[in-house]
């Protein structure tokens, strides 16, 4: 199944964290990275004052279901020092499932397609670079 992911980092060596996240995604036995966008620098969104982000997008081919993919993503984020203290706060790495095939779902843990992506240029611009055909 093809899944489209949003990537972001605004703590420390942002490029390192994004590259490492992609590397760890591709190293997972049930995930293969198909394409990664160039990274763009963006201003943070939300009420917390923080440093600018580097954002990108990736297409992955996965045998994991959406909840299993989310679990794998959380493990990668944790491995790279992600903490979940302040909502919309600074982070070493953030990986969001934007689209998972044709799936539409909503649960407490995960909503697909990502409910805010159409309002976020920092998601849409990198995504359009690697998947211009997406609507």
Does residue 121 have an active-site annotation? no
Q: Which candidate in 82, 84, 120, 121 is catalytic? A: 82
Q: Which candidate in 26, 84, 96, 121 is catalytic? A: 96
Does residue 61 have an active-site annotation? no
Question: In a 10 Å sphere around its CB, with 0-12 CB exposed, 13-18 middle and 19+ buried, how is residue 112 labelled?
Answer: buried
Does residue 120 have an active-site annotation? no
CB contact at 8 A, 73 and 31 = no
Does residue 82 have an active-site annotation? yes
Q: Which candidate in 94, 119, 120, 121 is catalytic? A: 94
User: Which parts of the chain are beta strand (E)?
Assistant: 2-9, 31-36, 40-42, 53-62, 94-100, 105-106, 111-112
Closest CA to 6 of 67, 77, 64: 77
Q: Which candidate in 14, 84, 91, 119 is catalytic? A: 91
Q: Active-site residue numbers?
A: 82, 91, 94, 96
């Amino acid at each position: 199944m093809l899944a489209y992911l949003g990537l972001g980092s605004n703590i420390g060596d942002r490029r390192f964290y994004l590259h490492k996240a992609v590397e760890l995604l591709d190293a997972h036995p049930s995930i293969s990275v198909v394409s990664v966008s160039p990274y763009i620098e963006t201003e943070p969104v939300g009420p917390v004052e923080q440093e600018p982000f580097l954002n990108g997008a990736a297409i992955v081919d996965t045998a994991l279901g959406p909840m299993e993919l989310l679990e794998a993503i959380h493990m990668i984020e944790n491995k790279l020092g992600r903490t979940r203290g302040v909502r919309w706060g600074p982070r070493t790495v953030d990986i969001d499932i934007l689209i998972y095939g044709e799936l539409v779902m909503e649960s407490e843990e995960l909503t697909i397609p990502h409910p805010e992506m159409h309002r976020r240029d920092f998601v849409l611009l990198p995504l359009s670079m690697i998947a211009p055909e997406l609507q």
